[in-house]
Amino acid sequence: MLKRRFYSRHSPLVAPELIGKILVRKLDDLKLIRGIIVETEAYTGSDDPASHAYRGLTPRTQVMFGKAGIAYVYFTYGFHNCLNVVTGKLGEAEAVLIRAIEPIDGIEFMRKQRKNPIKDLDIANGPGKICQAFAIDRDLNGLDLTRMDSPLFIDEPTTEKVQRKVVSSSRIGIRNGFDKKWRFYDEESQFVSARANIISS
């Protein structure tokens, strides 16, 4: 399990290192849902016009200003939740958005969470889809991902491939801050988000 030391750094540094790591979700019945992170985006605070924290602390962005290694889950477009991990030093308002995942374990569960027949490629290739597949909602906002008993955390890969070809681009779905190349993804993965493919083509 990744420790707080890993998260307590500048988000554009943490985001590319999360590619290839394993997101793990523990359900009530002790079932394990696992997948490889293949796409992330870094956000910072007052210097990043694309960030929720750009205009300072608000009720929604409160956890971004807190300790690293905490989940920041927000609700967007009236429909979807998105999962971030808080990074940086205390008070710095940084986070990494998890944008796409390659499912490994609990695929049948994920399929049920989403829409029943659905291709493996479409289970978690987008931030809203990840939260559906992994049963993540705002109840998990503020959760500490570095505690042993946490129902959600990030692991080092074990049997999975460790070396990834990580490349960067502009972030997706934002109007400002296009100059920053803070979206990172595994160039060889088929599981990156669908919207990314549309925009970059």
Of 1, 67, 80, 169, which one interacts with DNA (CB under 7 A)?
80
194 binding DNA? (CB under 7 A): yes
Size of residue set near DNA by CB under 7 A: 41
The single residue among 95, 143, 166, 192 that binds DNA, judged by CB under 7 A, is: 95
Q: Is 200 in the site for DNA (CB under 7 A)?
A: no
Residue 78, interface with DNA (CB under 7 A)?
yes
4 near DNA, judged by CB under 7 A: no
Smallest separation (angstroms) from DNA to the CB of 163: 26
The residue type at 44: T
Residue 106 binding DNA, by CB under 7 A: no
Residues near DNA (CB under 7 A): 41, 43, 50-53, 55, 58-61, 64, 72, 75-80, 82, 84, 95, 97, 114-115, 122, 126-130, 171-175, 193-195, 198, 201
